[in-house]
Every structure is written in C-alpha cells, then in structure tokens.
C-alpha cells in the first residue's frame, strides 16, 4: 500500500516537494487556496541563482544604515508601525550578518545553491519546460568605479571558494550586449552560471502538470483546517476532507500562522516586494536580465513584458500595498531604458518568507509525528524549490538525503 502525504502550499517549493514524493511512490494530495504558483512564486525576478551562494545579509555599515533609516530608497523600505513587532527578528538577522557568522552560514547554505541548476534541469526536462528557460546568466550594471571594483573583487573571491563563474564587461561590451540601455553605466558584472525563467508562474504550472501526470492530485483547500488524527493528518478541501499519514507545511510566508497554531515558535520574518510589467517604446529590446546595482531595481524581459522589480519592504504580512519603491524605481528605470506604458492594472505585491539566519527550514517537525516543514527560502524560493523538494522527499522516504539537511533543521530555533 502506497504511503500517503498532504503537501500544503502550491508554490514552487510545495509543487517540487509533491513531485519528488510522487516519484517515490507516495500518493500525494497537493493543497492550496489558489492556483499553483499564484502567490509568492508568481512575482520574483525569474532567476535560478547558481551564483547566490551567499544569502543577503543585514547591512552593518553605520552610514548605510543611516541612509536606510531615511526610508527613501528603492532597495529597501519599511513601515514604521511594523518595526516594533519585527524588531526581534531584525536584531537576530543583524547579529547573524556579522562577517564571521555570515561566512559560516554561506558555507552551510552553498550546497543548496550549488545543486540548484542540476535539480531544476531534472524537472525542466521531465516537464517539457525547456522553452521557458534561458542559460545566458544575468548582469549587474555599475555607475561608479568604486562599486564596480568592490563587486568584481567579491565575485573573484566567490569564484575561488564556491566555483561560480562570471565575466567583467566594460562600457563598450555592455552597450554591445544591450544597445537600447542608455549611456551612463561604466560596465557590468555578468554572472554566467544562472538560468533565467521567462515566466515563473508557467514554470511552476509545468511542474504541477508533471506532478499530476505521475498520479498526484491538486485540490483547493484551507491550510488553517489542518488537524492531527489518530492515523495522520486531515484538511478540509473543496472536494471534502483529505487525509494522509504525513503532511508537509510549504506555505511560504503563511507558514508561521500554521506552525504557531501547532505550538511552534519559528522566527519567520517577511520581506515584501513589488513588480510591474511594461511595454518597450518603439523597437527597443532588453536582451537580458539586468540589475541597476547602485539603485536597487531589476529589469527582466519576460513573456508578460519587461518586469521591473523592487527590493525588500518590511511590513506586516497583511498590510495594504504601499508601492512607493516601485514608483521610485520606475522614475530611474525610464532614464536607463525606454520603458513604455504599464501593462498591469495595478502593481503586484508578494511576500518572501525569511529566517534570521538566512537559511530555509527543511525537516521533520520536532513534536509531531508525520509533520514536515519546508519554508523560509527568502529571495531564493524559485532557485531552491527542486533542491528542497528532493531533500525533503528523501527524508520522508527514509533515504539518505543527497545534501546534509542538518543546517536547515527546525530545532536550530528551539522549535
């Protein structure tokens, strides 16, 4: 008789977990309140970040912190009313970002990133999604020699320690690669290993179709109804009650509410982000994913148009949209590239689930039999979905995980 599992959350992480479990002979029911990939996984920059071996740390330079406090930047914004509740998380985040602790975290985190391309390749080929993916990398464009030299020096250190690849472009090479980007940049750092995704939503949906082709079932349901039973777990769905021996919480930023209701106190913080799609004016073309490194926004040529993304907003999960970063970014981006009209009726907003040590939570719930956690991937949810899916499925199937899951265990937070 097949083992059974509920997977709560149909973002890229949850769908990847479901695929890998179904491959291992589980009978899996995947549950979400919306369609697959329609929440946090919908709105990222579309990068499989093989170069992202060092997670984003909290700024520690006094001058930079003061500039962030002014709350007028594109790369970061905060709601003052949210800071008291967020303060414990932010303090732990700042503490873990100290240089030596941050280096240790990067060494533990790197194996996930190092396998991101190969694990996506597996699911991309199995789902027939090759047309959604590019393999040309992405680039950071620089305005000043100081920032360029610092970033290139850091890239060389990462190349030596983690094996990532990059190219340095001068202004002429950047202009040749992107002839419609206006003058003003002195060059770029091009990461050559990452893959790009034309539509993160479509990629998640392709993985969902793969899951269903393997016999998996996707239903609409309410994660807040999850209950322990005598034989496993149960949840209310649009098709009635669904039951299984094991359950996986892969709910991204909403995982904290569910885990808290079960008695866990996992320090999950929220970084919200925004995007908007634009037409290009005239015959202008953006060839590749490009970041304005010193302004903190991203331009990505996607199927829906040119996607302009912002940095992080620290706010309550349910607070109304406040897309001031997007407005700031658009003003700058229009001086860099001939953006045309907005294509979306309103800015998209999503929330990234973050832990104070910058690493995801992957593993068995400490105090509940048959319950598993898979969330907290911050900026790298798209990158790490298939890696996480394989690790967790191997653990649940009693196999030896291909990456040591110990650094990501829930117990590290005293859960």
Q: For the chain, what are the domain ranges?
A: 1-57+97-133+196-268+355-415
Give the span between the Cα atoms of 27 and 29, in whole angstroms. Answer: 7
Over its length of 415 residues, how does the chain's per-residue pLDDT go in tens digits? 579 999 999 999 999 999 999 999 999 999 999 999 999 999 989 999 999 999 999 988 888 888 889 999 999 999 999 999 999 999 999 999 999 999 999 999 999 999 999 999 999 999 999 999 999 999 999 999 999 999 999 999 999 999 999 999 999 999 999 999 999 999 999 999 999 999 999 999 999 999 999 999 999 999 999 999 999 999 999 999 999 999 999 999 999 999 999 999 999 999 999 999 999 999 999 999 999 999 999 999 999 999 999 999 999 999 999 999 999 999 999 999 999 999 999 999 999 999 999 999 999 999 999 999 999 999 999 999 999 999 999 999 999 999 999 999 999 998 7
Q: What's the CA gap between 325 and 53, in Å, rounded?
A: 26
The owner of tokens 């499925």 is 393
Question: Which residues neighbour 267 within 8 Å (Cβ) at sequence distance 6 or greater?
Answer: 88, 89, 92, 355, 356, 413
* Neighbouring residues of 177: CB distance < 8 A, sequence distance ≥ 6: 139, 169, 287, 288
CA atoms within 13 A on the CB side of 32: 23
Going along 238-320, which residue ranges are E strands? Answer: 240-244, 246-249, 269-280, 290-292, 297-302, 305-309, 312-314
Q: Is 263 left (phi over 0), alpha (psi -120 to 50) or beta?
A: left
Instruction: Specify the pTM.
Output: 0.97
Nearest to 177 by CA among 149, 147, 139, 133: 139
Percent helix / strand / coil, the chain, rounded to 5: 40, 25, 35
Element (H, E) at 271: strand 269-280
CB of 186 within 8 A of CB of 175?
no
Tell me how far apart the alpha carbons of residues 160 and 163 are, in angstroms, rounded to a whole number: 6
Retrieve residue 47's tokens. Answer: 């990068």
Element (H, E) at 217: strand 217-220
3-state SS class at 225: helix
Residue 20 Cα distances to 13, 66, 223, 360, angstroms = 11, 45, 21, 18
β-bridge partners, 350: 273
Q: Where are the beta strands (DSSP E) in 13-132?
A: 27-32, 47-48, 76-78
Backbone angles phi, psi at 39, to 5 degrees: -105, -120
The pLDDT, as a whole number, for residue 305 is 98
| pLDDT of amino acid 335 | 97
pLDDT score at 1: 58
- Using the 8-state DSSP alphabet, how is residue 53 labeled? -
The Cβ of residue 68 has, within 10 Å, a number of other Cβ atoms equal to 16
DSSP state of 61: -
Note the pLDDT of residue 68. 86
CB 171 within 8 A of CB 186: yes
> Hey, how many other C-beta atoms are within 10 angstroms of the C-beta on 102?
18
DSSP E strands: which ranges in 159-198?
166-170, 187-191, 195-197
pLDDT given at position 65: 85
Helix boundaries (H) for 143-221: 145-162, 171-177, 200-213
H runs (alpha helix) in 225-367: 255-261, 324-336
Distance CA 98, CA 31 (A): 39
Topology of domain 1-57+97-133+196-268+355-415, CATH: FAD/NAD(P)-binding domain (3.50.50)
Tokens 């002014």, residue located: 70
């Amino acid at each position: 008789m097949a083992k059974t599992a509920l997977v709560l959350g149909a973002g890229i992480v949850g769908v990847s977990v479901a695929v890998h479990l179904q491959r291992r002979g589980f009978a899996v029911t995947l549950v979400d309140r919306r369609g697959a990939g329609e929440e946090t996984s919908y709105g990222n920059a579309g990068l499989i970040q093989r170069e992202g071996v060092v997670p984003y740390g909290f700024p520690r330079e006094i001058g930079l912190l003061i500039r962030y406090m002014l709350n007028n930047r594109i790369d970061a914004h905060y709601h003052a009313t949210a800071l008291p509740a967020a303060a414990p998380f932010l303090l732990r985040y700042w503490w873990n970002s100290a240089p030596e602790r941050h280096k240790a975290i990067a060494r533990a985190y790197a194996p996930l990133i190092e396998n991101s391309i190969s694990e996506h390749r597996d699911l991309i080929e199995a789902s027939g999604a090759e047309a959604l993916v590019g393999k040309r990398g992405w680039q950071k464009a620089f305005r000043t020699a100081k920032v360029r030299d610092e970033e290139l020096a850091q890239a060389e250190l990462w190349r030596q320690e983690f094996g990532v690849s990059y190219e340095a472009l001068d202004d002429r090479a950047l202009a040749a690669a992107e002839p419609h980007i206006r003058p003003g940049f002195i060059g770029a750092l091009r990461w050559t290993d990452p893959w790009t995704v034309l539509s993160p939503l479509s990629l998640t949906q392709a993985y969902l179709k793969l899951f269903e082709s393997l016999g998996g079932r996707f239903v609409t349901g309410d994660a807040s109804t999850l209950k322990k039973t005598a034989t496993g777990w149960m949840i209310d769905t649009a098709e009635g009650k669904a039951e299984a021996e094991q359950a996986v919480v892969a709910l991204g930023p909403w995982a904290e509410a569910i885990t808290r209701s079960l008695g866990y106190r996992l320090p999950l913080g929220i970084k919200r982000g925004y995007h908007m799609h634009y037409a290009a004016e005239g015959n202008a073309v953006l060839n590749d994913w490009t970041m304005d490194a010193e302004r903190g926004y991203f331009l990505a040529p996607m199927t829906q148009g040119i996607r302009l993304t912002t940095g992080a907003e620290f706010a309550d999960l349910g607070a109304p949209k406040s897309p001031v970063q997007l407005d700031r970014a658009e003003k700058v981006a229009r001086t860099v590239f001939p953006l045309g009209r907005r294509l979306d009726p309103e800015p998209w907003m999503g929330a990234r689930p973050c832990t104070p040590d910058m690493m995801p939570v992957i593993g068995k719930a400490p105090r509940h039999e048959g319950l598993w956690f898979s969330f907290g991937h911050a900026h790298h949810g798209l990158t790490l979905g298939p890696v996480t899916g394989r690790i967790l499925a191997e653990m649940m199937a009693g196999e030896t995980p291909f990456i040591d899951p110990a650094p990501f265990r829930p117990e590290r937070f005293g859960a």
